[in-house]
Amino acid sequence: MADIEKSAEEIVKQPKVEQPTPDDFEKKRVIAALGYIPFLCFLPMIMKDKGDFLAFHARQGLATTLVAVVMAVLGPVLTIFIPLIGLVIATCLDTVLALLIIVGALKAYQGEMWELPVVGVYAKNIKL
């Protein structure tokens, strides 16, 4: 019985952790969604109180930005060396990248921590 009273006293003495307000979470959702736009991925990274939600989306935004940079170089190279087929491949890959960016931004705005296909696997390994 004394143990129960002692543990109850410890629980009461613990400082209360402030829960984020809905306005704070709304701002984080918007910043996380903007982080999927290439080169704006640094917005979630520079937030002083990122938390898991912003860090998750910052990693995925950085990964999609890196893919966009690779595609910016690879697209013209494919088009030059393989004229018609290279253009079709580059267009298809750019379309997939655009869809990943749009879906990632929408999921971030909805407050979900949804892992992007293919890119999300690599994004987990990025240290912030």
Q: Which pLDDT score, from 0 to 100, does residue 62 have?
A: 93
Three-class DSSP category at 62: helix
CA distances (Å), origin 84, targets 68, 71, 74: 21, 17, 15
pLDDT digits (tens, 9 = 90+) for 17-35: 344 567 678 888 999 999 9
- Residue 36 phi, psi (nearest 5): -85, -15
Percentage of the chain exceeding pLDDT 90 = 55
More confident residue, 18 or 91: 91
At residue 16, does pLDDT exceed 60?
A: no
Residue type at 37 in one-letter notation:
I
Q: Which two tokens stand for residue 5?
A: 């009273």
pTM of the predicted structure, to 2 decimals: 0.76
Per residue in 93-116, pLDDT (tens digit) is: 999 999 999 999 999 999 999 999
